């Protein structure tokens, strides 16, 4: 019997992607402290937070839960070596987009799976180049709700798709859940999409 999967995320985008890949799951929305520790680099930060989310969901549900496999993910946007995080306000979102305008930035997404007494993670880094963004374009974009609760203040699958000149890496990773890596991790935990029931080696 396939273990029941729990997605530890508040992101509707991650749920949409996991559903698109063919997985059945339930959602728990754990709250974790996302503060970066001194000297912590962005890949380590995203990996730590993704595992913290999975562990927090497991703790929330308790030992008697039917959920046996916990999936957590975290994404950060990095420019000039600095993690931008999520905008705190419209003004903050505009500041982020000005920094991303006309240049290349990194999007780092970590996926972690926790099952039984085992855990595993993968970190995916993609490079995204934006076109030059005028103040009017930034103002109009930030007048919508799309920049909020998004790492770097934008959603590549939404209106901000028109900002992208070039992308190297994982499109789904930029969205928040790299599907190839997620499939591989869940396979190791004996969790399969509904259309595929055999373990890959």
List, by residue number, the catalytic residues. 74
Q: Are 112 and 47 in contact (CB under 8 A)?
A: yes
What are the beta bridge partners of residue 69? 5, 115
Strand duo 164-168 + 118-130: pairing:
antiparallel
What are the beta bridge partners of residue 129? 104, 166
C-alpha 62/C-alpha 66 separation (Å) is 9
Residue given tokens 């969205």 in the structure block: 175
Residue 91's alpha-carbon distances to 23, 148, 164, in angstroms, are 38, 11, 22
């Amino acid at each position: 019997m396939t273990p029941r999967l729990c997605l530890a995320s508040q992101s509707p985008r991650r749920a949409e992607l996991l559903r698109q890949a063919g997985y059945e799951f339930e959602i728990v929305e754990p709250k974790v402290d996302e503060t970066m520790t001194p000297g912590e680099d962005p890949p380590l930060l995203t990996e730590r937070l993704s595992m913290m989310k999975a562990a927090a969901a497991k703790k929330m549900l308790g030992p008697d839960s039917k959920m046996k496999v916990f999936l957590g993910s975290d994404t950060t946007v990095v420019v000039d070596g600095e993690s931008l995080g999520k905008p705190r306000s419209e003004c903050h979102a505009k500041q982020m987009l000005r920094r991303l305008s006309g240049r290349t930035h990194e999007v780092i997404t970590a996926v972690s799976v926790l099952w039984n007494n085992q855990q595993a993670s993968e970190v995916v880094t993609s490079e995204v180049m934006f076109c030059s963004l005028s103040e009017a374009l930034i103002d109009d974009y930030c007048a919508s709700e799309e920049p909020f609760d998004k790492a770097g203040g934008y959603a590549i699958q939404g209106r901000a798709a028109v900002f992208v000149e070039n992308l190297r890496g994982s499109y789904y990773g930029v969205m928040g859940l790299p599907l190839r890596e997620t499939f591989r991790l869940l396979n190791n935990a004996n969790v399969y999409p509904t259309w595929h029931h055999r373990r890959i080696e």
